[in-house]
Amino acid sequence: MRRLTTLLASVILVAGAAGCTDRTATVDRLMQKYQGNVPGASLLVLKDGKPLIRRGYGLANLEQHEQASPATNYRLASVTKQFTAAAILLLAQDGKLKLDDSIRHWLPSLPANADEVTLRELLSHTGGLIDYEDLIPAGTTRQLDDNDVLRMLSDAPKSYFTPGSAYRYSNSGYVLLGLVVEQASGEGLPAFLQQRIFRPLHMDHTLLYVRGGPGVSHRAYGYSEENGVWKRTDQDLTSATRGDGGIYSSIDDMAKWDAALYDDRLLSDASRKLAFSPHAKVTGEPYEASYGFGWRITGDTLWHSGESIGFRNVIVRWPRQHLTVILLSNRNDPEPYRTVLSIAEPFLH
């Protein structure tokens, strides 16, 4: 009987190893575009808090021929928004602000039509504020910062729609939310994120990058393919704004963020419920989703993508199955969301 039990255990072990090998081979095939002497990616598959796949593909820096790894830090672009939203929720937990505060209460230079726009609406992209990208004067060559965005919006008395009546994805809203964090906390946004989120979670290599501030360790540089040649396209006019896209992080640090979203070590149960509840139906996109606070919601998934010049990223979470897949890349193509859904498929069964 003991020999039979041992034999069965061996068969199960071999079958499990074979299944793992098959899944790894499938993942490597899906990640083929990122392999070799090209801008690359870092990929993490987490199941029940454990990394099943954790590796880099291709290069983080073409000029220095530095390999991408689990420690490589990428510009998160709009994946930053979930951290900005968490900062607002933390301040609401502290009683420093209310989600139904008018944005103009905190940023009084905004025009009178912003009186009716609340923090809650900015969090869910239902505020109707003008996209700051559309307000950049022709011929501008200097990078914009958050105060430039505030000034341009303060000079723009129109809006797209009555606050709360529609959805329109808004980088403007999240830049302003970052400024509200500073007003309500009395601290700079990089310092607040460091003290209240990154440090407590031991995300030791994650930071909101500001030129002239601390540098990014193990930094990936962004690239775009032009006529078959990869060109460094790491920064553009809008790469210095903060609350909408300025955080750098790695898959290793993002694993710690993912873990914190399952319990109340950072956000209370009520705050997480707010973040992960559908507040608006996403429109104008080639996918079905609702929007929470810094998260898209599709079926069983909570997810967000991030795109800026030279970077394409996505985090997709299946909380019920306790599965998360994170793909961070330093290139303009391919778009990673569908790739991640394909990578996740064998791990969901």
**Measured distance CA(39)–CA(149) in Å, rounded:** 31
Place of tokens 């460094």: 232
**Measured distance CA(144)–CA(304) in Å, rounded:** 24
What is the token pair recorded at 221?
Answer: 């540089």
Q: Are 169 and 126 in contact (CB under 8 A)?
A: no
CA angle 139, 143, 149 (to 5 degrees): 95
Q: CA dist 330 to 167, 223, 231, 239, 249, Å?
A: 29, 6, 11, 14, 12
The reply to whether 185 belongs to the active site is no
Give the active site residue among 10, 42, 69, 78. Answer: 78
Axis crossing angle, helix 171-185 with helix 146-154, rounded to the nearest 10:
110
CA angle 306, 91, 118 (to 5 degrees): 70
Catalytic residue numbers read 78
